[in-house]
Amino acid sequence: MVTRRKRESLENGGLPPVSPFQRLSRTHSLMVAGETAMTLALADSLFLSISPDAARTKVILFLAVSMAPFAIVAPFVGPLVDRMRGGQRMVVLLVAVLRALVLIGMARELDSLTLFPLAFASLVLAKTYSIAKSSLVPSTVASSDGLVEANSKLGQVAGITGFVVVVPIALLQLISSQAALGFGVLAFIAAALNAYRLPKVVVASTPPDDLETEELHSTTVVAAANAMRVLRGVVGFMFFHLAFWLRREIAGTAWFGLAIGLSGMATLGANFVGPFMRKKMRVETMLLVSLVSVGLVGVGAAWYGRITGGILLAAVVNAAAAIGRLAFEATVQSGAPDANRGRAFSRFETQNQMAWVAGGLLPVIFTPAGWMGFAIVGVIGAAGAIMYVRADGTVIGSRGGRATSQEHQSR
């Protein structure tokens, strides 16, 4: 062990060895930097300049197609990757390399309709990375008690990275969109290099046993998982609702950029506040507050009916989803103590990504008016809160979510 640490120290320039979580944090930060570069570069491209009516059919098609990898492929390929030594690490590395190649393709096709399939290929890769990251986090922390804190820190890293890189990327964007995309290519290549040095771990060497299956299908875990899917579905709904509705308004692209920026700030704030909330209240209360907040602000934004109300709602929705995720992870941690964390969170994240895509399809297909979309979000939030309470989602936990559920206490 001493020899190994000395070798790692020498490889790191004499500094203390980099922990697996630090390596994953660096990889995640670089992936976020690449994502930010792509987002800003597309702002002046055909992707956002094409008329909403012309874009709608393409968005519907590619959103529907993007569900296929998660609905069909993931249930079969996921378990195989989990059983491979370094399988999810390989997925992260491949995603980073492929995203760099996609950005190179985008730089060549900024004024072509080919940009649409490239953009949605990038979307599928981003969702794939999110699932792989969820399965890797448990293997980078010393104990299960640090899992929620680790995910909160990754959320903070993502938010801080976004704000740090947005200025240099914006300056490159003034030169050309290709320059901004070049920044993204370098970020994804650096992410791939960092991913290569992630530990080669086996996420799940054996299939789930009866106890794991029973715990993951307990009332509390299922109720929390459904609540989380509602929140992620609403996030997808708001993203595409604002994208199409604001395009029909004056300075639509600028307002949409403001909505994305404030949503990022809200998510960052939620990831900082979430751990403190968890110390002060039960995790089921955190989930319930998240759903109720979405319901109340959604109804308020519908009544107000203006652009600023919609932007505020987008920020609240993203913050609620971040708070809800921390509460959900704590619920799984306490309600399913014998489950394989990597496999469980990978499966749940797959379901959440499908909820995001399904939520995004609705406003693209039905194109509701601005206030109507906000009202729909309010109704979904309120309905989600009612269903969560009626499903006995509040039976677990004490402060901090460390108590087990009634089902476990009765054993």
Query: Among the residues of 305-340, which ranges form H helices?
Result: 307-335
Q: Considering the domain boundaries, does residue 56 fall inside one?
A: yes
Q: Considering the domain boundaries, does residue 135 fall inside one?
A: yes
Question: Does pLDDT of 383 surpass 90?
Answer: yes
Q: Do 354 and 268 belong to one domain?
A: yes
Residue 203 · residue 135 · CB < 8 Å: yes
Q: Do 202 and 300 belong to one domain?
A: no
Q: Do 274 and 192 belong to one domain?
A: no
Q: Considering the domain boundaries, does residue 238 fall inside one?
A: yes
The residue out of 207, 242, 257 marking a domain boundary is: 207
CATH number at residue 155: 1.20.1250
Question: How is the chain split among helix, strand and coil, in percent rounded to 5?
Answer: 80, 0, 20
Structural domain that includes position 395 = 211-405
Q: How confident is the model at residue 123 (pLDDT cuts 50, 70, 90)?
A: confident
| Closest-CA residue to 99 (of 41, 25, 23) | 41
Number of structural domains (the chain) is 2
Q: Do 252 and 376 belong to one domain?
A: yes
Give pLDDT tens digits for 50-62.
666 667 777 787 7
Give pLDDT tens digits for 38-87.
888 886 665 566 666 667 777 787 777 777 777 766 676 777 777 788 77
Q: Do 198 and 235 belong to one domain?
A: no
Question: Does pLDDT of 410 surpass 90?
Answer: no
| Closest-CA residue to 129 (of 317, 358, 346) | 346
Q: Do 188 and 47 belong to one domain?
A: yes
Quick one: CA dihedral 28, 30, 31, 37, positive or negative? Answer: positive
